[in-house]
Amino acid sequence: MADRDAEQWYPTAAYLYVLHLDNLALAWEYLRRNPEYRRDWRDRQRRPEAAQRWGLRLLEDPRLDSRDAHPVWFPDHPELIHLYPDVDPMPDSVAFDFWRIPGSKCLVHDGRRLLLTTRWPGCCLRLDVAPGLEQGMAYVHAVRACSRTCGRFRSIATELDKLAVAADVGPLAAVRCRPSPAALLELHSLQALDATLAGASLREVAAGLFGPPAVIDDWHADSGLRSKVRRLVRRGRTLMHGGYRRLAQLDGRGEGRSTEPVKRP
């Protein structure tokens, strides 16, 4: 980031938490590094309306990474689960029990409703709690309708299943598989972005990400390593300057991908 020196971006271990972030959390990681966003945060008392410029309802502190920050996106993520009181409950209806919801919980009021984010090993779930829903009341889940509902409903049902299982078991830890290439790409992109914002050269970025021996063995004008570092830096800057919106699905297409869709015949 712009105000950090090389010693702070160099250790890759400081970025390991990135391997387990979902798209919304990754979008925040890129946005909070944007120098213009950081300027708007400093001027938030004079410019409270600046949040929507960045796809947020409220400005969030860019000094907080995704483990501590709770940005409220605008518009809502398509898979946000809404909880409403059940006006016609069945005899076997489940009662809303805030304290039975597993994980580390955070409540944010955006001026209209409560947004609940809960995290436990291997999962992060975001819920919108309607103002009329109280502890012990029967409730229903609601999601926005769309032209491609089946995939979204299956995704949301999977998350709700995780919530039900976690509430019964209460896991203390989770075994994770080896990081995927996509997760490693995000880690390297963020580290390369921080390095260049701190003033590092491409060669220094390569040494930080892949080690000095790799630079000694394969750093010349047409080397694959040099091309790879350039792509990482370019990708990080693209995501920081608006590309994060695609990760957060703020474009309304619900794709949640950082790259442009492939054109098919």
- Non-local (6+) Cβ contacts of 175 within 8 A are none
Beta strands in the chain (DSSP E): 81-85, 104-109, 114-120, 123-129, 139-142
List, for residues 51-83, the tens digit of each pLDDT value.
999 999 999 999 999 999 999 999 988 778 899
Q: Where are the domains of the chain?
A: 23-169
> 30 near 240, Cβ under 8 Å?
yes
Residue 174's pLDDT is 57
For the cut 80, the answer to whether the pLDDT of residue 262 exceeds it is: no
Element (H, E) at 191: helix 181-197
> 194 near 6, Cβ under 8 Å?
no
Percent of the chain with pLDDT over 70: 84
The mean pLDDT of 114-121, rounded to a whole number, is 88
The model's pTM is 0.83
- Non-local (6+) Cβ contacts of 202 within 8 A are 226, 229, 230, 233
Percent of the chain with pLDDT over 90: 59
